[in-house]
Structure 1
Amino acid sequence: MDTTGGLRERKKEATRKALHEAATRLAIEHGLDAVTVEAIADAAGVSRRTFSNYFAGKEDALLHGDEERMSLLLDSFAARPPGEPPWAALRGACAAVFESTDEPDPQMAVQARLARQHPSVLARLLTHYASVERRLAGIIAEREGRPADDPAARVLAAAFFTALRIAAQRWVEEQPPRPLRVVADETLDQMARPFA
């Protein structure tokens, strides 16, 4: 059995995580504008060149954790039973992600605030959300045996991610804070209610 590939992938993921954590910590401590790629690389114990092998810029390093959670959500949804109704499958995938990951720490809330304050981070975040939403719509359409550009699949994907974005905003703003899972469940329940 070849374990070299697995070890290599674990090392890469460890480096990626170290860079993300360094970017987040430095942005919290000094403000994003004062953080350089070199400072992030130094804090993670890697070279500037190594940083560039993983991320295009400090914004990408900062948002890595969010992108990982979205990928996990898509994978979890794609693995749901084929006969499960789409909204139920989306809720099940969301619950599975919450069960498999720790409750987000306050740094995630700080990261969300940074995104709102810095156009470069917000632009990257919105671009990523749009990409993930398109991918989710494609998975929904495929599960339902519909064309890839099916409007119902696109609306469902957009509604689901809109509810998650609203939940994240509520979670960041609430005092005292409640678990993100609770806030997300409430918001998804509200989204599932008919408007008319």
Structure 2
Amino acid sequence: MPEPVKGLRERKRLETHRALATTAVRLVAERGLDQVTVEDISAAAGVSPRTFFNYFASKEDAVVIAHADTAERTQRTIEKFLATPKEVSTPRAFVDALKEDFAQVDENREEWLGRMKAIQENATLHSRAVAMNHDTIAPMIEAIARRTGVDPKADLYPALVLSTLGGAVNAVLMLWYQHDGRMSALDLLDDAVELLLAGLPEPGGRAR
């Protein structure tokens, strides 16, 4: 599904958010969270602190929230997932729907290495990242339930699929980060879902 055409004002909003987010990540990765202020981020991005607070509630949010349209991106992912032909397995369909956004990890390698470094080194950022993802859980479980024709309140499957794939995404990002982004995050994601679909065979028994 193509991304909707955005007006000039909306594009400007998204661009300003991105400029602040990437600047915050860079400064925090270089100096440490406690050594960076909202004023530092604003000055480096060429905007006022007042403008900063039009986009973020705190410097922590500026590091963690990569895009202003997170809710819209989640909805597009759900729509792509639900539009995938039924002959594609649900876990594969879900991962395929994530790929367009996930590709940005590879495309913006330094930014994501800096963001992950900051999150790994600061418990407050880790907690904020977890909280930010919380709002996506219910609609994604509902989408999985809708595609598989089950009741999300009575059947374990939708929540289990989401939890399992969420764990796979986290494992992929950690391995990618540990290798300084030299491995393709998208390729690792494909490998992860194939391992899950194969029932997580023991490494010694897998084909080389």
Which of 27-36 and 152-161 deviates more? 27-36
* SS at 2:157 equivalent: helix
Q: Following the alignment from structure 2 to structure 1, what is the Cα–Cα distance between the partners of residues 38 and 106?
A: 28
Change (3 A) 1:25 1:119: same
Measure, in 1, the Cα distance between the counterparts of 2:76 and 2:181.
32
| CA distance 1:99–1:195, shift in 2 (3 Å) | closer
1:56 is paired with a residue whose SS is coil
- Indicate if the aligned counterparts of 1:28 and 1:110 stay in contact, CA closer than 8 A: yes
1:129 to 125, 133, 147: 133
CA offset at residue 21 of structure 1? Answer: 1.3
Within the candidate set 144, 147, 152, 2:151 is matched to 147
In structure 1, stretches of 5+ residues that fail to align are none
Determine if contact 1:115/1:121 at 8 Å carries over to the other structure: yes
Distance 2:79 2:172 in 1: 22
Partner Cα distance (2:181, 2:28) in 1: 24
Matches within 5 A, 1:33-48: 33-48=34-49
Larger CA deviation: 77-86 vs 97-106: 97-106
Alignment-derived partner of residue 183 in structure 1: 188
- Contact 1:133 1:158 (8 Å CA) reproduced: no
Give, in whole Å, the separation in 2 of the partners of 1:177 and 1:99: 14
Aligned residues: 192
Q: Distance in 2 between matches of 1:176 and 1:7?
A: 33
Aligned-residue Cα RMSD (Å) equals 2.7
Assess, with a 3 A threshold, how the Cα gap between structure 1 residues 11 and 104 changes in structure 2: closer, same or farther.
closer
- Map of 2:176 onto structure 1: 171
AA aligned opposite 1:179: S
The residue that corresponds to 2:124 in the other structure is 120
**Larger mean Cα displacement after TM superposition, 153-162 or 136-145:** 136-145
Deviates more, 1:74-83 or 1:165-174: 74-83
Instruction: Measure the CA separation in 1 of the matches of 2:106 and 2:69.
Output: 13
Q: Tell me if the contact between 2:176 and 2:185 (Cα under 8 Å) persists in the aligned partners.
A: yes
* Alpha-carbon shift at residue 59 of structure 1 (Å): 1.2
Provide the C-alpha distance between the structure 2 equivalents of 1:143 and 1:59, rounded to a whole number of angstroms.
Answer: 36
2:167 maps to: 162
Give the fraction of aligned pairs with identical amino acids, expressed as a percent. Answer: 27
Contact 1:76 1:93 in 2 (8 A): yes
1:176 deviation in Å? 7.9
Deviations 1:76-121 (A, max 9, x none): 3422425424223113213343567853313312211211110110
User: Contact (CA 8 Å) 1:103, 1:180: kept in 2 or not?
Assistant: no
Give the Å deviation of 1:170: 0.5
- Give TM-score scaled by structure 2 length: 0.79
Structure number with the bigger relative contact order (C-alpha 8 A, sep ≥ 6) is: 2
TM-score, normalized by length of structure 1? 0.84
What per-residue deviation string (whole Å, max 9, x for no partner) do you get for residues 58-89 of structure 1? 11111122786796365234224254242231
Does the CA contact (< 8 Å) of 1:77 and 1:89 recur in 2?
A: no
Q: Is the 8 A contact 1:22 1:43 kept in 2?
A: yes
* Closer/same/farther in 2, CA of residues 69 and 182 from structure 1, 3 Å limit: farther
- Confirm whether residue 104 of structure 1 aligns to residue 108 of structure 2: yes
